[in-house]
Amino acid sequence: SGPKVGLPGTGPLSSICTGFVATMLWKLQTPLSSKTLVNTIFQGSWVVLCPILFASTGSDVDMSILDWTTITWMLGIVLVTVIVRLLGCFLVLFGGEFNWKEMLFVGLIFQGKATNQAALAPNLLYTSWKSEYPEDAHRAAESVAMGVLSILVCTPLAHLGARLGGPYLLSKQEPPRPPPAKPEPDSTDAKPDA
Q: What is the rounded distance in angstroms from the CA atom of residue 142 to the CA atom of residue 133?
A: 15
Q: What is the rounded distance in angstroms from the CA atom of residue 1 to the CA atom of residue 10?
A: 6
Hey, what amino acid is at 138?
A: H
Q: What is the pLDDT of residue 35?
A: 67
Give the model confidence (pLDDT) of 61-117 as tens digits.
667 777 889 888 988 988 998 899 889 988 988 888 888 888 888 888 888 766 666
Q: What is the rounded distance in angstroms from the CA atom of residue 62 to the CA atom of residue 141?
A: 8
- Indicate the pTM of the whole model: 0.58
Q: Which residues contact 121 (CB under 8 A, 6 or more apart)?
A: 57, 143, 144, 146, 147, 148
Q: What is the pLDDT of residue 76?
A: 92
Q: Which residues contact 181 (CB under 8 A, 6 or more apart)?
A: none
CB 86 within 8 A of CB 21: no
Q: Quick check: helix, strand or coil at residue 132?
A: coil
Instruction: Determine phi and psi for 58, rounding to 5 degrees.
Output: -70, -20
Is the Cα dihedral 157, 162, 164, 170 positive or negative?
positive
Residue spans of the chain under pLDDT 70: 1-9, 30-35, 53-62, 113-119, 172-176, 183, 185-194
